[in-house]
């Protein structure tokens, strides 16, 4: 597994030009996630209107993998239902923890398939999951009716 397969052009593109970056109003829930091993931090907001994710915005410090992954994720989930986003999360997590044995459906996942290489680098799995985990956490809080981060 070469590092060039890890850093696909798609990933570098998202890293250089992040989609949906910057914190925006309105939002239902804001969460703050940390990767203690490297200190990466992410603040992420979601806004859900009638079961549809109307916005995901964020402020992130982190490596190319974590930032690009958050960027790709935001593009994928905005405009869809919460349920769909949580399903996407499950599939993405299965792939990334699959040590290269699980692949994603390109139709459904679009740019996220570029992260299949990350599954070969166990040390980077947490990086790729940071944004996704924050999104899942935020959606679960919305569903539970929690408005503020506890």
Partner 1 sequence: MSDLYDVEAVRREFPILARQIGAYPLTYLDSANTSQKPQAVVDAIADHYLSHNANVARAMHVLGAEATAAFEGARTAVADFIGASRSEEVVFTKNASEALNLAAHTLGSRLGPGDEVVVSVMEHHSNIVPWQLACERTGATLRWFDITDEGRLDIEGAVRDGLINSRTKVVSLTWVSNVLGTVNPVAQVAAMAHSVGAVMVVDGSQGVPQLPTDVADLGCDMLAFTGHKICGPTGIGVLWGSYDLLESLPPFLGGGEMIEVVRMTGSTYAPPPYRFEAGTQPIAQAVGLHAAIRYVSALGMDQIAAHEHDLTAYALEGMSHVRGLRILGPTEAVDRGGAISFTLDGVHPHDVMQLLDSRGVAIRGGHHCARPLHDRLGVQSSCRASVYLYTTHDEIDRLVEALDYTGAFFSGRLATTGGVR
Contact positions vs partner 1 (CB under 8 A): 2-3, 6-7, 12, 16, 34, 36-41, 61-67, 121-124, 127
If the CB atoms of residues 79 and 122 are measured against partner 1, the closer one turns out to be 122
Q: How far is the CB of 135 from partner 1 (least distance, A)?
A: 20
| Smallest gap from residue 88 Cβ to partner 1 (A) | 24
Sequence-distant (≥ 6) Cβ neighbours of residue 124 within 8 angstroms: 6, 63, 65, 118
Q: Which residue has the tokens 């290489």?
A: 117
Nearest distance in Å: CB 69, partner 1: 12
* Closest to partner 1 by CB, 123 or 144: 123
At closest approach, how far in Å is the CB of 63 from partner 1? Answer: 4
d(C-alpha 133, C-alpha 10), whole Å: 21
Give me the half-sphere count of Cα atoms (radius 13 Å) on the Cβ side of residue 73: 33
C-alpha 38/C-alpha 48 separation (Å) is 31
Identify which of residues 67 and 70 has a Cβ nearer to partner 1 in the complex.
67
């Amino acid at each position: 597994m070469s590092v060039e397969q890890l850093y696909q052009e798609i990933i570098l593109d998202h890293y250089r030009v992040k989609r949906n970056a910057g914190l925006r109003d309105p939002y239902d829930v804001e969460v703050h996630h940390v990767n203690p091993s490297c200190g990466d931090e992410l603040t992420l907001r979601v806004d859900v209107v009638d079961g549809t994710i109307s916005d995901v915005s964020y402020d992130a410090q982190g490596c190319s993998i974590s930032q690009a992954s958050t960027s790709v994720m935001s593009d994928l989930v905005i405009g869809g239902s919460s349920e769909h986003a949580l399903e996407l999360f499950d599939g993405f997590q299965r792939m990334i923890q699959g040590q290269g044995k699980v692949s994603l459906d390109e139709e459904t996942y679009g740019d996220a398939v570029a992260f299949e290489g990350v599954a070969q680098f166990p040390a980077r799995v947490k990086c790729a999951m940071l944004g996704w985990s924050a999104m899942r956490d935020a959606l679960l809080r919305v569903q539970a009716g929690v408005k503020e981060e506890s």
